[in-house]
Amino acid sequence: MAATASEGPFSRALPWLVPLALIILWQVSSSLGWLPPNILPAPTAVLQAAWVKLQDGSLVDNLGVSFARAMSGLIIGGAIGFSLGLLNGLSKQAEMLLDPTLQMIRNIPHLALIPLVIIWFGIGESARLFLVALGVFFPIYLNTLHGVRNVDPQLIEMGRIYGMNNRTLFLKVILPGALPSIFVGLRFALGVMWLTLIVAETIAANSGIGHMAMAAREFMQTDIVVLSIVIYAILGKLADSATRALERKFLAWNPAYAKV
């Protein structure tokens, strides 16, 4: 089954069939007037809106702003989550000191902090950064901790018998052993990252894709609203594909991640 499913042009086209059919159905419904444009504009209208926004430069500007926000939040929150995950995974004392508090904070939906964040930071850049960083922190922290904890103790004993010092043991045994779990965390984090950014940009921003959508809403420009949604979908898919590519590169040793 698996062998035949990955061969031939037909099977390669298979994942695209359903989206394509939906778009055609959507286009036909719009052209026949079943879907009024103020409810849902035709795909061609969305494409046209994209073209207009590309030409006046605002699409690229807003996209760049949103992308930069997403990445800075991911890097800040991810770095803190990764470091604390390693620290608590390697040191029992650190875990006893910090983990219960972190687990408690984890249960607060980070978007519930928006009113407080606006009071603290206003609607400036730091508010959005804070929310994205907080959102991505937990998936990365939890999965890094889990990954470090679950490295095969027999491999660690082997490393010690072969005279590895702590640094080598970490670099050659613990970190590579934790990597599959860390990647799971990264993929979760990317999902949270876009979600947080969308909410933060629609509530309080004067630039970015979310802002573009909210501004369009004021003038009933449904084509631009839909365009924004489509862009978020594409960004999410790109982030996921990038992670998959990284997994294939760094986890090539693991049969579960070998090229499908």
Number of residues that bind another protein (CB under 8 A): 21
With contact defined as beta carbons under 8 Å apart, do 142 and 188 qualify? no
Site stretch for another protein (CB under 8 A), options 79-87, 112-120, 169-177, 193-201: 169-177
Q: Does 166 bind another protein (CB under 8 A)?
A: no
Looking at residues 214 to 253 of the shown chain, list those that interact with another protein (rule: CB under 8 A).
Answer: 251-253
Distance of CA 105 to the CA centre of its chain: 21
With contact defined as beta carbons under 8 Å apart, do 81 and 138 qualify? yes
- How buried is 11 (Cβ within 10 angstroms: 0-12 exposed, 13-18 middle, 19+ buried)? exposed
Q: Does 178 bind another protein (CB under 8 A)?
A: no
Nearer to another protein, 59 or 173 (CB): 173
Looking up tokens 């286009």, which residue turns up?
A: 27
Q: Does 10 bind another protein (CB under 8 A)?
A: no
Q: Does 17 bind another protein (CB under 8 A)?
A: no
> Residue 124 in 3-state DSSP?
coil
CA–CA gap between residue 66 and residue 85 (Å, rounded):
27
**Rounded to the nearest 10 degrees, what angle do helices 175-203 and 58-90 cross at?**
140
Q: Does 168 bind another protein (CB under 8 A)?
A: yes
> Per-residue contact track with another protein, 123 to 162, x per CB under 8 A?
-------------------------------xx-xxx-xx
Where residue 244 falls (left for φ over 0; alpha for ψ -120 to 50; beta otherwise) is: alpha
Q: Does 164 bind another protein (CB under 8 A)?
A: yes
Sole binder of another protein in the list 179, 193, 212, 216 (CB under 8 A): 179
**Rounded to the nearest 10 degrees, what angle do helices 125-149 and 58-90 cross at?**
40
With contact defined as beta carbons under 8 Å apart, do 257 and 180 qualify? yes
Between CA 138 and CA 194, with CA 75 as vertex, the angle to 5 degrees is 65
Nearer to another protein, 18 or 256 (CB): 256
Nearer to another protein, 136 or 173 (CB): 173
With contact defined as beta carbons under 8 Å apart, do 172 and 160 qualify? no
Sole binder of another protein in the list 4, 55, 101, 165 (CB under 8 A): 165
Q: Does 43 bind another protein (CB under 8 A)?
A: no
CB of 158 to another protein, least distance (A): 4
Nearer to another protein, 172 or 237 (CB): 172
Which spans of this chain sit near another protein (rule: CB under 8 A)?
Answer: 154-155, 157-159, 161-165, 168, 172-173, 176-177, 179, 251-255
